[in-house]
Amino acid sequence: MINRELSSSIKALMPAKPRSSDPDKPVSMWRERDRLRGFPETTMVVIFRTTGCSWYNFSSCSMCGYFNDVASNVGVDNLKKQIDSAISALGYVRVLKVFTSGSFLDPIEFHPEARDYFFRKLQGRIDKLLIESRTEYIRKDNIESIKDYGIPVRIAIGLESANDDIIMNSINKGSSFSKFTAAAKVAKNLGFELRTYLLFKPLFLSEKAAISDMLFSIEKAMPHSTDISINPMNIQRHTLVEKMWKKGLYRLPRLWSLANILIKGSDMGASVVSYPTGGNKERGIHNEDRGPELLNLIYDSSLKQNFSDLRAYYEKSDLREYYEYLDAEDVNMFQPDYDRLLDRVVQSSSWI
Ligand code: SF4
């Protein structure tokens, strides 16, 4: 399930050495709204600095630049200090989302001693926890003891697409749909909830094809998932996606398409959410016109799980120009970002 040529191209862009960062401090912490308990509320997010994703030893996913945040010198004591910082920042918040630059459940990245310290400190402090992991660490022997702490946990898995061809030849995930379903089964049998991440518009797919991939993937992931988070592409540093984007050979997806996916996904009966990273910014999902209304509606509908206002806005809008963009892109070999391509042409011909 590995495209070695793609993997090597991605690996070549990764920095040779992790940057030296303070191993006692999380990468970042902030508050944001989500609905992990079935209603919208403020949650706390912490990104723990770790030694990074086990997949980095081989390569990385084509869109992932989390390796920019890892440090090679993070040990158990450092993780404990980071945990203390996160817990003291919790305040009144009862829901915590934990990200690492890899998998919280990887015992090499997040040592079992630090994991135990983390759960013990959280007892009585929170009512819901979200953690992320690659599928290989979602095994009974590795996760069943988590139940003993009595904290309700939702595990998030980056499936990205239910199409193995896309997983291998576009994303370079080093995984597969069958690995996802096996891990989901283990988690479900042990009583964990599951959030499934899908990546909207990976490399080498037209936006039309990417929309179809999301609808197909929602249908396939739905029976295994408590909810499905649609993550539109954003541009991270030192990635293959960034390289293509800088050359004008990749156009970020449009908010109209995301709205369409959410409306259709909810019609299919899925609990779909999307809180786009970098929405309406240069490196995030955006329409040609970057008005705030559509992005706000996407957030609101996701939080409320009510897509009627989003649907009404979508249906009353004039989307002819948007459809023209989609049609034009669909017959191209690449997904051109015309503004960037034009900039390059102008720059390369400026000596004339
Ligand atoms: S599995 Fe996750 S952390 Fe690891 S390279 Fe892929 S996206 Fe990044």
The CATH number linked to 197 is 3.20.20.70
Residue 44 pairs with which residues in a beta bridge? 31, 96
Distance CA 173, CA 175 (A): 5
CA distances from 227 to 15, 98, 198, 270 (A): 34, 17, 11, 7
Closest ligand 1 atom to the C-alpha of 103? 3
343 C-alpha vs ligand 1 centroid, how far in Å? 31
Give the range of the structural domain holding residue 27, as residue numbers without chain letter.
4-348
Distance of CA 23 from the midpoint of ligand 1 (Å): 20
Burial of residue 67 (number of CB atoms within 10 Å: 0-12, 13-18, 19+): buried
Q: Which residue is it, tokens 């004339």?
A: 352
The CA–CA distances, whole Å, from 349 to 204, 250, 338 equal 28, 22, 16
**Tell me, what's the pLDDT at 212?**
98
* pLDDT tens sequence for the chain (352 residues): 799 999 999 999 998 876 678 999 999 999 999 999 999 999 999 999 999 999 998 999 999 999 999 998 899 999 999 999 999 999 999 999 999 999 999 999 999 999 999 999 999 999 999 999 999 999 999 999 999 999 999 999 999 999 999 999 999 999 999 999 999 999 999 999 999 999 999 999 999 999 999 999 999 999 999 999 999 999 999 999 999 999 999 999 999 999 999 999 999 999 999 999 999 999 999 999 988 999 999 999 999 999 999 999 999 999 999 999 999 999 887 888 888 888 887 877 655 4
Mutate to test the pocket of ligand 1, among 53, 103, 161 (most ligand atoms within 8 A of CB): 53
pTM of the shown model = 0.95
Residue nearest to atom 2 of ligand 1 (CA): 102
Alpha carbon of residue 347 to chain centroid: 34
- What's the structural domain count of the chain? 1
Whether 14 contacts 56, CB under 8 Å: yes
